[in-house]
Amino acid sequence: MSGEVRIAARGLTKVYRSGSADLVVFRDLDFDVYRGERLALMGESGAGKTTILYLLGALDRPTAGTIHYDSRELSGLTDSELAEFRNGEIGFVWQNHFLLPEFTALENVMMPLLIRGVPQAEAASVSRARLEEVGLGSRTVHRAGELSGGEQQRVALARALVGNPSVLLADEPTGNLDFRTGEMIFDLLNGLHQSHQLTSVLVTHNLSFARRSDRILKLEGGILGPAS
């Protein structure tokens, strides 16, 4: 991890309209994510951790505040520019893997590259390499529904990395797995973080996993700060 700031959030605010009232998730959050860092976000369910991840991933826009990736400020980008940014810079891993069940493991991993316009043969070659990297080289032609929960999450990891992102955002990536499989996925995440020279932000309830990160921030009562 370097001391160089990769992501800078300033005055980050998210408010939802609920009937005639405003629901304030958080207001005026300031935090940095350093290049090469593994940052863990913790907090109770409903605290707003996933909301932060959506904002960092340009999947939603803040009510107020700014998010900079190096010198690039996201709020100034159009929706199409944000989509291009997400596809090129960010890999996502979710608690629910969101694989397409009617497609094979290889086809699921290829999707981000095909969306980018990469020729099919090239997309298939790169996707096979990523599946090999997560230990699923022999499962490329199996449909998602034919894979175990741990295998499905490894396919999701391969899909997140197939576009060679610089940032990985993971939301409870072990939350639906048993302890042993969760340990395997977390170890794999750490290995991929190193080998792909990623900057990673991980939302987790698992304190053991969080403590293996470089730094822990806790969101509580709309306030984000170092975990005690």
Return the CATH number at 169.
3.40.50.300
- The pLDDT of residue 18 is 80
Total number of domains in the chain: 1
**Whether the predicted pLDDT of 29 surpasses 80:** yes
**Whether the predicted pLDDT of 1 surpasses 70:** no
DSSP H or E run through 120: helix 120-133
- The pLDDT of residue 176 is 81
* CA pair distance 124, 110, nearest whole angstrom: 6
Residue 119 is assigned to a structural domain of this protein: yes
- The pLDDT of residue 96 is 82
DSSP symbol at 98: -
What are the structure tokens assigned to 56, written together?
A: 């960092």
- The radius of gyration of the chain's CA atoms, rounded to the nearest angstrom, is 18
- The pLDDT of residue 3 is 85
Residue 185 is assigned to a structural domain of this protein: yes
- The pLDDT of residue 10 is 97
Residue 1 is assigned to a structural domain of this protein: no
Question: What number of other Cβ atoms are within 10 A of residue 203's Cβ?
Answer: 23
DSSP symbol at 184: H
Residue 100 is assigned to a structural domain of this protein: yes
| φ/ψ of residue 35, rounded to 5 | -60, 130
pLDDT tens per residue, range 98-152 = 899 899 999 999 999 999 999 999 999 999 999 999 999 999 999 998 999 999 9
- The pLDDT of residue 120 is 96
Residue 26 is assigned to a structural domain of this protein: no
Kindly report the average pLDDT of the chain as a whole number.
Answer: 92
Question: What number of other Cβ atoms are within 10 A of residue 137's Cβ?
Answer: 13
Residue 157 is assigned to a structural domain of this protein: yes
**Whether the predicted pLDDT of 94 surpasses 70:** yes
Range of the domain at 144: 39-58+78-226
**Whether the predicted pLDDT of 23 surpasses 70:** yes
DSSP H or E run through 94: strand 90-94
pLDDT tens per residue, range 34-61 = 999 999 999 988 889 999 999 999 999 9
pTM summary value = 0.93
Residue 16 is assigned to a structural domain of this protein: no
pLDDT tens per residue, range 156-215 = 999 999 999 999 999 998 888 888 888 998 999 999 999 999 999 999 988 888 999 999
What are the structure tokens assigned to 149, written together?
A: 């929960």
* CA pair distance 45, 24, nearest whole angstrom: 15
- The contacts of residue 178 (CB under 8 Å, 6+ apart) are none
Residue 166 is assigned to a structural domain of this protein: yes
Instruction: With H, G, I as helix, E, B as strand and everything else as coil, classify residue 172.
Output: coil
